[in-house]
Amino acid sequence: MSESFERYHCQIALPGFGISSQESLKNARILIVGMGGLGCPSAQYLASSGIGTIGIADDDTVSESNLHRQILYTPNDIGMYKVDVAAKKLLQQNPSIAVIPYRIKVTSSNVMNLISEFDLIIEGTDNFETKCLLNDACVLTGKPLVYGAIYQFEGQVSILNVLQEDGSYSPNYRDIFPDAENSQVPNCREGGVIPTLAGMVGCMQANEAIKYLTRSNDLLAGKLWMINMMSGRTQVIKLKNSSFQITDLPQTVELITFEELSQSKDDFEIIDVRSLEEHEHFNIGGSNIPVELLEQHLDSISGRSKPVLFYCQSGKRSSEAVRKIKKVFPDKEVFSLKGGIRSISQ
């Protein structure tokens, strides 16, 4: 540690921290899933604090609309893969650490292998499906998960599934939001977000990771920290374990882009799962079965010879439709239109 003592002097000097805590950070392996508004500040502060190995997973590229809150990136990075840019900049920030980029979409088929080499997982994702997937994988493997969420002016942080002294685990994401996959809460692009909120929540996630690794007795385990950026108020509420049982991973919804659909439209049975009024106002073809009526048409859908593509306005209802069909017919080829028909005009 002598070669890097000066860099970390101010944290080593903290009461109760010392060189032993710094060694714990140096030996730690943290995986950050999602290098967006939360992943950027989390990764930057964890890299600067001396976390020995940081994995970063994301399959997205930098876009102009990211720049107001994802401050690790610049206009020169637009179109480049986030993990490639982030890995380079994090190593410039601290050359003594290891940064492992994973240019992948985290799915039910790769998540267990991905998290297996890490001590703690930080999720900075913007969709409920991946949040649930990471939570369930961490519960099944006994790993802690640092949760973060932002929407408009409000943010949340907790550290989930932490092993307790009595051998039990603290509440996990399903204990708080058991039906999160079917939530209709918009993401940042749709609902908006104040950029400073991303920095606050991402830093809090990094803080929880550092506290966990240095064996703090005051974790946000069993607690949910919330902030409102308009009022400046924060509050912490207690969480309880529920009876929700996690025995397997949820199946990842497979996505098809509109460009891919356009090239092979005849290869799919297309179903619009919006309302009749929405369908009549504008559609891209196919039949119309609102998602809330899907259960009444299960047999007809399962009997279709071609793969089925569901679409809606944003991709949320079509993803819900995919999950409903896969739950009853696991082997049926069903897809959701990525970003919904809203993505066509973007």
Q: Count of residues for the chain? A: 346
d(C-alpha 208, C-alpha 218), whole Å: 9
One DSSP character per residue, 196-237 reads HHHHHHHHHHHHHHHHHHTT-S---TTEEEEEETTT--EEEE
Q: Distance between CA 113 and CA 280 in Å, rounded? A: 45
Determine contact, residues 319/253, Cβ cutoff 8 Å: yes
DSSP designation for 97: S
Catalytic residue among 40, 132, 138, 312: 312
Cα–Cα dist 200/189, whole Å:
19
In the annotation, is 188 catalytic?
yes
Marked catalytic residue, from 10, 40, 188, 203: 188
Residues near 132 by beta carbon (within 8 Å), at least 6 away in sequence: 173, 174, 180, 181, 250
- Give CA–CA dist 71/45, Å, rounded: 13
Nearest Cα to 338, choosing from 267, 242, 262?
262
Structure tokens at 90: 């994090």
DSSP codes of every residue in 256-289: E-HHHHHHSGGGSEEEE-S-HHHHHHS--SSEE-
Structure tokens at 14: 């903290």
Active-site residues, by number, are: 188, 312
